[in-house]
Structure 1
């Protein structure tokens, strides 16, 4: 019988999907309040629709910051139906830790306490393995006391922890994404990490490029959708945004390049002009910028549904990358179904653990449970940009390592 998996803060199913696709695991329950941001209500994010469409079970809509542990135990016991809990996923929201949000440098976001709650859930439910993925700042930011509480609590309950910060492009994701991964195990089970899975191997340069991930998709104009893939769709652009986009050079161009053309300043918005006048550009050139064909994409964040939020524009077509394109860059298979409003579908992608990575994490968990190390070529999720022939011996991958970092 497959090992049981329960997913807290399940979102659109990015972490669950890796286990769902592994023959040794069965996802039996998921829980998510579907809150897009603190000011929005339960259900507003619509992520449970996406989860159901791909995993095949409907998550329980519940506020995990408020639910009593005894009530949660009842939900879990019903889902397990007499079986043991083998793997507990708890990827608490990372927004309060991320360095991309300026307030996080000084203010401890209330959502950060959900890391502590995750530890309390684990002690109450006693899974054999706990998996948590989050922003790197969970382990090395200003509010690491939440992780230290989890570590102390889990170790006191008899768990062994393995944790670290990983550049996910080293494991085949076509994106510069740096994340913390925590694995906790009990009963003498050895925790494993991604470096152990990839020991002696790396991926080719080609495997982690935007070109590999999305160049095969049909061309679209802004506001169009593909007639055979409802997720290959991009929002319309306002006239001014479209005129600006047409003048930004392909393959990594930025609004800064508009300063090099005649009347280019006419296409700059006030914040761009202020940056130019002050001489302090920082990361601002990324907004409204195009991706590079032959590099990994920038980090895909939850607010990736607008060109002005980052370098999310297509390398050469005059539009924002589509839901399908950003999904592929985030390690979702091309068959993945996104549901809800267009802006929410983009949020489902940016919030998610890349399934390309979670499938590898599922193999790590099976390795811990069985003691049998998997063949790396079997850890490649079908339908994604990474394919088995991309795996190369470590000594031939030095260029890729520099590129990924």
Structure 2
């Protein structure tokens, strides 16, 4: 989320905090994401547990002494996501960080609050955590807008469904990402894998391109895994294709054989799958560092998509630096991230809220990403003319 605001010409990031925990059982600092944050934004985040830290103390640690314009609160989505089977039974203790955001609102007194999370934040079993936050914000006079979106609607070359939240303080008019895109449409090719990855050089599994240390793909854990991927057809192929290609059945795993026997594939066909050139990528999740965890294989080359490729597909500019020695952690940083392309658009919406200036098409395109001005078209009926014949933009308002 921070990078989109950092890259925006009208905002400055003045503080950040992250515990760097990959999961509750991980040692403190194990995720090593703060190093990447500092390399790209120029600020060293305060390493602290936001579930227990005193907000006033945190402000002092950041050197913040006055009310701020934007507070970005992005609690982990792991405890909400439907892909985690435990979440159907247990309310992850980290989910309470959503409601706890209100203590930081009281301390920092932001004019705008932004948040991103899994779609289940609004419609899952534990959605009461968001209701706690919403009621707390409204009690303080904020107007709150929260909605689920498929982010490819806004130019991300990936089918990623997420909750986006914007809350504005009293005296400010609420604007949303839908308002910024009202009357604007995307060309079909703008969100394709082909467009996004165009021009990247070929590499082999286990290689790092000499000109870009993020254009790296891990080696295969076994010859069987490599052989399996070799048999899967290019451009969108699935492990189910192993049933019809010569010699393919030799590479079926016990789990695959069980699915075939039951004739129940569910979402399982995506494992070991290849991306398709002319469609958006599937949702890139935090455990995207192995071809067996989803449809993360290159459309043609026999390897996992590189860190750089998955970064591009999740809205990072091509120059973004992924720091640290662990290749797996770099993949996790991408899967966990708010797509910077989307946070840049949210920054433009926040600038609109603060200044009254609606974002132009250029304001929706994070420099260095795949999206181009020609990809976004203004609808013919979106321009209304006043009595002098001068064009005036017609805006849609969302009442909450």
Deviations 1:24-54 (A, max 9, x none): 1110111000001111011100000110110
SS at match of 1:182: strand
5+ residue gaps, structure 1, are 1-14, 397-405
In the alignment, what sits opposite 1:181?
A: 164
Tell me, in whole angstroms, the C-alpha distance in 2 between the residues paired with 1:372 and 1:320.
43
Tell me, in whole angstroms, the C-alpha distance in 2 between the residues paired with 1:119 and 1:164.
19
Identify if the C-alpha distance between structure 1 residues 134 and 216 changes in structure 2 by more than 3 Å, giving closer, same or farther.
same
8 Å CA contact retained: 2:148, 2:163: yes
SS at match of 2:207: coil
What is the root-mean-square deviation in Å for CA atoms of aligned residues? 1.3
How far the C-alpha of 1:75 sits from its partner, in A, is: 2.7
8 Å CA contact retained: 2:193, 2:280: yes
Q: 1:239 and 2:227 equivalent?
A: no
The normalised TM-score by structure 1 is 0.91
In the alignment, what sits opposite 1:65?
A: 51
In the alignment, what sits opposite 1:345?
A: 330
Quick one: which of 370, 378, 381 aligns to 2:363? Answer: 378
Q: 1:161 and 2:147 equivalent?
A: no
Quick one: which of 212, 217, 232 aligns to 2:200? Answer: 217
5+ residue gaps, structure 2, are 382-400
Q: 1:74 and 2:60 equivalent?
A: yes
Q: 1:324 and 2:289 equivalent?
A: no
In the alignment, what sits opposite 1:195?
A: 178
The normalised TM-score by structure 2 is 0.92
Tell me, in whole angstroms, the C-alpha distance in 1 between the residues paired with 2:87 and 2:191.
30
How far the C-alpha of 1:278 sits from its partner, in A, is: 1.6
Q: What does 1:119-130 align with in structure 2 at a 5 Å threshold?
A: 119-130=102-113
How far the C-alpha of 1:394 sits from its partner, in A, is: 4.5
Q: What does 1:3-402 align with in structure 2 at a 5 Å threshold?
A: 15-76=1-62, 78=63, 80=64, 82-237=65-220, 238-340=222-324, 341-394=326-379
Tell me, in whole angstroms, the C-alpha distance in 2 between the residues paired with 1:388 and 1:319.
32
How far the C-alpha of 1:214 sits from its partner, in A, is: 0.9
SS at match of 1:243: helix
How far the C-alpha of 1:335 sits from its partner, in A, is: 0.2
Tell me, in whole angstroms, the C-alpha distance in 1 between the residues paired with 2:310 and 2:375.
21
How far the C-alpha of 1:74 sits from its partner, in A, is: 2.8
Tell me, in whole angstroms, the C-alpha distance in 2 between the residues paired with 1:362 and 1:263.
52
How far the C-alpha of 1:151 sits from its partner, in A, is: 0.6
How far the C-alpha of 1:167 sits from its partner, in A, is: 1.1
Of stretches 224-233 and 118-127 in structure 1, the one that deviates more from structure 2 is 118-127
8 Å CA contact retained: 2:316, 2:340: yes
How far the C-alpha of 1:70 sits from its partner, in A, is: 3.4
Tell me, in whole angstroms, the C-alpha distance in 2 between the residues paired with 1:273 and 1:66.
47
8 Å CA contact retained: 2:20, 2:30: yes
Runs of 4+ in 1 over 6 A off after TM superposition: none
SS at match of 1:149: helix
Of stretches 355-364 and 124-133 in structure 1, the one that deviates more from structure 2 is 124-133
How far the C-alpha of 1:187 sits from its partner, in A, is: 2.8
Tell me, in whole angstroms, the C-alpha distance in 1 between the residues paired with 2:40 and 2:57.
27
How far the C-alpha of 1:190 sits from its partner, in A, is: 1.7
Identify if the C-alpha distance between structure 1 residues 215 and 239 changes in structure 2 by more than 3 Å, giving closer, same or farther.
farther
Deviations 1:47-81 (A, max 9, x none): 001101100111110011121233224334x2x2x
SS at match of 1:53: helix
> How many residues are aligned here?
379
In the alignment, what sits opposite 1:9?
A: none
8 Å CA contact retained: 2:276, 2:299: yes
